[in-house]
Amino acid sequence: MKIVVDGMGGDNAPVSTVEGVVKAIDEYGIDIIITGDKEVLEKEFAKYTFDEKKLEIVHTNEVIENEDKPVKAVRSKKDSSMVVAFDLVRQGKASAVISAGNTGAILAAGLFVIKRVKGIDRPCICSAIPNVKGGMTLLSDSGANADCKPKNLCEFAGMSDIYAKKVLNIENPRVAVLNIGLEEGKGNDLVKKSYDMIKEMDLNFIGNVESREVINSFTDIIVCDGFTGNILLKATEGVAMSMFSLLKKSFISSFRSKIGAILLKSQLKGLKGMLDYSEYGGAPLLGVAGGVIKAHGSSDSKAIKNAINQGIKFAEGNVVEEIEKFAKSLKKEESVKGKEK
């Protein structure tokens, strides 16, 4: 098995990316291909001692920047580190791709280079929100599809269920619909219809979940459209981070409070770690015909290493094959329902 890493994507590339790759080779003994400017990358790798036989550098001339328009960039920058990396997955030369680059471009490269699994209408990004029990809750879709149909939410539910089982080893993942009330029949048109359809699927469906419970580990998977999911994801992250900076500020406001903060250092650090998004590697793009892990734009080497590990588990768990089976079952069901009518 080989994993390909986009060597130039992300705020801390290639420095943290290279360090993360070295750590992954050391820890997992995995074969890695990295794409990017060969000279720059070689200089970075020269800093480390590791099993160099495990590494292949594929030289590319271009980089997709954060400011680039995603679709246009993927179509025009054919020799970018991102597009070449995705193309290696399409060709079957790598089992999964890791990129910390432009999120929109990752989505576009997934759709246009690797392409969708047949029968899946809308691939989704499945992000992990840390919860207060020290685990994580999956949020699908967290931003790939701003406008959705009920059918899409069913796909998100089924694909995330597979991911939770195969990559996160959750035995019987609880699936819930994000809503503004717990009772059946609540919400907007989209969630009401989606609720009725997901209820009929072969899932451990537990009903609606409210956003105030998101970090309380009420469910393993939260299903929603990508607009609402992105609002929720960024709100959770924003409030947590703002509260930490408020705490920090108030703790240095007096001598007394400074002493207090020193005594609480390990507790505060533990809490921050628990709610720190970078701990969790990356988010998979589910529903394309290959493993795609989107690492956080500001990933450090640990986050890159964790994302590579996710890519390995994704490939080992045959997630794509499982999603293909799921897509076929969806199609069969639709044709049965069509005949019933």
238 binds its own copies (CB under 8 A): yes
Single out the residue of 200, 228, 232, 206 nearest to residue 219, CA to CA: 206
Which tokens is 52 given? 């160099």
Pick 19 or 225: Cβ nearer its own copies: 225
Near its own copies in 155-184, by CB under 8 A: 178, 180
Pick 155 or 225: Cβ nearer its own copies: 225
Site string for its own copies, 271-300 (x = CB under 8 A): x--xx-------------------------
Pick 50 or 227: Cβ nearer its own copies: 227
Question: Stretches 117-125, 224-232, 284-292, 309-317: which one binds its own copies (CB under 8 A)?
Answer: 224-232
Helices (H) and strands (E) in the chain, counts: 12, 11
Residue 79, SS3? coil
Pick 172 or 188: Cβ nearer its own copies: 188
Residue among 247, 279, 316, 329 that touches its own copies (CB under 8 A):
247
By CB neighbour count within 10 A (0-12 exposed, 13-18 middle, 19+ buried), where does 202 fall? exposed
**How many Å separate Cα 209 from the centre of its chain?**
21
DSSP state of 116: B
243 binds its own copies (CB under 8 A): yes
Rounded to an integer, what distance in angstroms lies between the CA atom of residue 315 and that of residue 3?
9
Which residues contact residue 299 at a Cβ distance below 8 angstroms, ignoring those fewer than 6 apart?
Answer: 10, 11, 12, 16, 17, 20, 100, 278, 282, 307
Sites of contact with its own copies (CB under 8 A): 132, 143, 146-147, 178, 180, 187-189, 191, 210-216, 225-228, 230-232, 234-243, 245-247, 250-251, 253, 256-257, 259-264, 266-268, 270-271, 274-275
